[in-house]
Amino acid sequence: MPFSEEMDNNITVDLGGDEVEVFDPDVRCGYGKCKPRWLQKLNNSKLLLAVLCTFTTVQGFVLNGVNNVNTSTLERRFQLPSSRVGTISSAYDFAAAIAGVLTSFYGSRRHKARWLSLSAVSFGAGSLTMALPHFVTGLYEWGDSINNTCSYNQSQGVCKEDGLQNYLYVLILGQCLHGLGGAILYTVGVGLIDDSVPSNRSPLYLGILYGFALLGPGIGYIVGGQFLNIYVDFDRVDLASIMMTPTDPRWVGAWWLGFVLSCGLFWIIAIPLFAFGAELPSARSVRDTRISQTYKDDGKFQKGYENEAISIRALPAALCRLLRNPTYVCITFAGATEAIVTSGMATFLPKFIQNQYNLSSGYAAILTGVVVVPGAAGGNFVGGLVCRCMRLKVKGMTRFSFIGCLVTVLSFSILFLSCEQYKVAGINHYYSNSSVDELSLTSSCNAECSCKTEFYEPVCDSSGVRYFSACYAGCSSSVTSGKVFSNCSCVAVQPEQNISMVTTETCQTNCNLVYVFLPVLFIAVFFTFLPSTPTDSAIMRCIHDGDRTFGMGVKWFIIRMCGSVPGPILFGAITDATCTLWSEKCGEKTSCWLYTNDILARNYFLLIIGVKTFSFVFFLLSHLLYVAPKSDIEHVLNKQEVHKNIISNHSLVTDNGGIISEGNITHHI
């Protein structure tokens, strides 16, 4: 090779203030054969971190922001109970768990940046699939409150199946494509960053990465909430004909807009990711100067291990190495138990706050985003910062984790704090003018009205009692365009008005306990996510270098299959179990209108405390069972042996920061 070509392939890398010359063209940045010299200035860990932070922000925006804001909207639009909506969230983790092990194993030994580019493409395809049901379904049918009055001659009509519930499977398919992308992002992506920066910087980089991942949901809650103020079919109907506002319980917003937006962003992100080389120029120097903290490591550098042949036959041996590491196993199962809580609460916390504190769904979503996202992002960032500032090793990281878990267990007792549940006639309050002493929507005062439960159109009387609809209140006439109903046989006559009437205005409550709940919730979320970065760093440190990406894949497989997959389904099931009023379609239950708040709080608390107890035990065992490697001196000696073998072919950085060049050893301190 001519000298000029060799110099053209040369990359100058800055590592801790010193420069390293790298001659490998595979690490150059560019597209195909187009890899100009000026572009190599961008080929560094800081730019990679910036691109991945953008990636994880958009990922958090759509998966944990838009998805969670849309939970109750999807229930209404596609007539689904909470347990089935929970399967949409679980589908992401199920697909990511299955794909994660294989992609992490092969991705750790191939072109990692291109795997990440494929991840972004898969995320974009998933978002497009999630939006698809809007474009292939008919217009949303929202009922008519003006005509929903007591009519003794009203016919129930013939019930027609619309098949809306079947679109659940399209949404699940979209989440599976998201899951394929997520499997790559959080295994190959984390491994690529850890391979490219020194050990003392890795926790900070990972903390920043996870912090941005948790900023995404905050943006998703805000933007998604604004999208829900736009009518779902604004692109297909004349909005002047829609006699509803976002405060109407029948309202369904433009849930699909967030998915269309994220699709475009994901595909844009794929472009710069594809430009990065097989690894960053700094990766070789980081790898050659890193001191092992592998569990029970004998201190011997595993020469050539990182280039182990890629084959299915190598999987069992790699898996055995991981499962024989008790610290790795305990941290992984602690993460699985934590994931039950985080995934379940992420999906249903807005609905919980809405019901416990009598708030609108939009306001509950905003409060959730304002409190949960800063708490989670702050916990991740502070966890990474503490690891770096205190220079924690594996033992210190595991100790840090179980202390944080203990604080979280105490904080979740705030779930029992709730406002008094509003009174709903026939559900938790007796009808005033009924001769039947039982709780049922249908009573003697409205038995002949032929009322329906397909649409929840609540009305309120002057005493603060709600009725499912004007029909169930026994009202026979309406005034002011259906906002006020009169001649209501189930409502007590007001002496000063000598008339029984209800209004569509929401019954007012004066409970402000939500503002006591939110600060404690912030503490609980902060300490829940505080161990995230330390535990990831501990796993990276306690397993062999060549197993790191595969180890992250196995870890996420267990966390997802044992935690994130059952989490939303469990929380959805215990939410449905407290439902006291269901919407019905053709005699079948669809979505829930009303929950028993005290039982809902009790169920959530017992599930969270039980799961958190297991988390604490696993974190404690990971600390007690960890066995540190032999002295750092032996590691340094082994590294020097490696340096001697490599020095004739490559330039590299010494442990004290100098540059070793071929044929001439010089030190620049």
- Whether the Cβ atoms of residue 346 and residue 64 lie closer than 8 Å to each other: yes
Supply the pTM of this predicted model. Answer: 0.74
Give Cβ neighbours of residue 57 (< 8 Å, ≥ 6 apart). 212, 213, 215, 216, 219
Q: Which domains does the chain show, CATH number per domain?
A: 1-39 (no CATH), 45-420+511-624 (1.20.1250.20), 423-508 (no CATH)
The dihedrals phi and psi of 237, each to the nearest 5 degrees, come to -130, 165
pLDDT of residue 54: 92
The dihedrals phi and psi of 219, each to the nearest 5 degrees, come to -65, -40
230 burial level (CB within 10 Å; 0-12, 13-18, 19+): middle
648 burial level (CB within 10 Å; 0-12, 13-18, 19+): exposed
State whether the Cα torsion 627-630-631-632 is positive or negative: negative
Could you tell me how many helices (H) and strands (E) the chain has, helices first?
21, 12
pLDDT of residue 260: 95
Residue from 44, 189, 61 nearest 116 by CA: 189
Give Cβ neighbours of residue 189 (< 8 Å, ≥ 6 apart). 52, 55, 56, 112, 116, 119, 209
pLDDT of residue 123: 95
Residue with tokens 């009203």: 154
Q: How many CA atoms are closer than 13 Å to the CA of 351, on its beta-carbon side?
A: 34
In angstroms, what is the C-alpha Rg of the chain?
29
State whether the Cα torsion 420-422-425-426 is positive or negative: negative
Query: Which residues in the chain show pLDDT less than 70?
Result: 1-26, 29-32, 34-36, 38-39, 101, 104-111, 143-147, 152-162, 198-200, 247, 249, 277-312, 433-437, 480-482, 495-497, 549, 629-669
